[in-house]
Every structure is written in C-alpha cells, then in structure tokens.
Amino acid sequence: MQTNQTVVIWLGKSGLLVALAAGIGWTWGQLQTLRAEVIEQRQRLEEAPREAAKVAMLKNELAKRQFDVERITAFLVERNELADAVGEIEAAAERAGVEVTVPGVAEREIFDEDGNVVEPSGPILEVELDVVALGPPRALLAFLHSIEHTQRLTYLASWRLDATERAARGQQTEESAEPRGVLTVDYVVAVRR
C-alpha cells in the first residue's frame, strides 16, 4: 500500500513539476513577447524625433509648394475671364495709341508627330487669340511689347508687322499723314479648365 501511496505522491509531484515547467515556459514566452514589444516601443521613441522632423520638413515643403501653386494660379486666366484678357489687350492698344481688334478666339489644338489632334490633358489649356492692330509702326511695336509682358501666363505663337510703303498707303487715313502698319499676332493665353 505504501507503494501505491508513494506512486501517487510521486505522480502528484511529477504532475506538479510538469505544470510548474509548463507555467514557467508560458511565463517565459510572455516575457519574451513583452521584451520584444518594449524593444519596439523603445525604437519608436528613438525614431519619434526624426519622424517629427521629417513631418515638419514635409509640412514646410508643402506650404512652400502651395505658395508657388497660388503664385502660378494668379497668372492663369479663368474661362469666364477671357473677356478680361481681351479687355487688357484693348487697354494696352489704347495706351500705345493703336486700333485693335480680336477677330478670333479658339482653343489651341495640339498635334502629335503624325499630325493627329491630341486631346488636351491637365489643368491648363491654351486659348489662341487672333489680334490685329493698326497704327504707326513704333506704336505697334510698343503695343506688342506691352501685351508680351502682361501679368498673365501667355506667349506669342507668331506675329507679323507689315509696315511696307504699300501697307502704309493702304492703311493711311485722310486725317493722318503718318504712315501706318498692320500687326497680326497669334496670342496664346493659358486658361485654367
């Protein structure tokens, strides 16, 4: 009997040792998991100042780019402001002392290397204004300089000044003995879609 009791005690102690070993193993695993989490948290804390500096730098860069975008946008013409752009051309003509007309306004077509029309993409499209001005050649050049240097995103696709004697005689009015010329300009304005 005593042997049975010894076996039971021995089995009880063995079971207790197995449970204790399993508990120690489980606790050891939990400690390793916690240790890994602590190491990860420590790394995050060490990286936090660098990340904060990166975020601050990106915010500063974004603010600077936003300022650049706003500056460029100020040079664009809205679709509903095309009449204002024509008004600016007419005001420049008045200052230069020339007569001006804008007989054509059309979206500028873009062609690929095969000569096919390419659909415009992006936030900006180009609108071409056909400008015809009459007046003395010097005044026409002053007018051309004036519209070329407006506070808008524009360029001159082409221009032609005809101030030959024949053109001057054909454009000369009875009240003015001063020779006159004809200036034709393909004036391209960047318009926001």
Beta bridge partners of 161: 183
Question: Quick one: 90 and 173 in the same domain?
Answer: yes
Please, is 173 exposed, middle or buried when counting C-beta atoms within 10 Å of its C-beta (0-12, 13-18, 19+)?
A: exposed
Give, in order, the Cα–Cα distances in Å from 68 to each of 71, 74, 79: 5, 10, 21
Residue 2 is predicted with a pLDDT of 66
The range of the structural domain enclosing residue 49 comes to 1-74
**Residue among 121, 143, 123, 116 at smallest CA distance from 132:** 143
**Residue 45 belongs to what H/E stretch?**
helix 2-74
103 in the same domain as 49: no
Domain tally, the chain: 2
CA dihedral 127, 130, 133, 139 (to 10 degrees): 40
Q: Do the strands 117-118 and 77-78 form a parallel or antiparallel pair, or are they unpaired?
A: unpaired
One domain for residues 117 and 142: yes
88 plus 166 within the same structural domain: yes
Whether residue 86 sits in one domain with residue 69: no
Give the model confidence (pLDDT) of 150-191 as tens digits.
Answer: 888 888 999 999 987 665 555 555 555 667 889 999 999 988
Question: What's the pLDDT score for residue 173?
Answer: 53
Q: What is the pLDDT of residues 76-89, one digit of tens each?
A: 888 888 888 899 99
Residue 93 shares a structural domain with residue 23: no
DSSP 8-state assignment for residue 141: H
Residues 180 and 109 reside in one and the same domain: yes
Residue 185 and residue 122 in one domain: yes
At 172 the pLDDT is: 52
Residue 18 carries which side chain, given as an amino acid letter?
Answer: V
Residues 1 and 85 grouped into a single domain: no
- Residue 102 backbone phi and psi in degrees, to 5: -125, 85
Based on the domain organization, do 184 and 95 belong to the same domain? Answer: yes
Q: Would you state the pLDDT for residue 176?
A: 56
**pLDDT (tens digit, 0 to 9) for every residue of the chain, 193 residues total?**
567 777 667 767 777 777 777 888 888 888 888 888 888 888 888 888 888 888 889 888 888 888 888 888 888 888 888 888 899 999 999 999 999 999 998 888 888 888 888 887 778 888 999 999 999 999 999 999 999 998 888 889 999 999 876 655 555 555 556 678 899 999 999 888 7
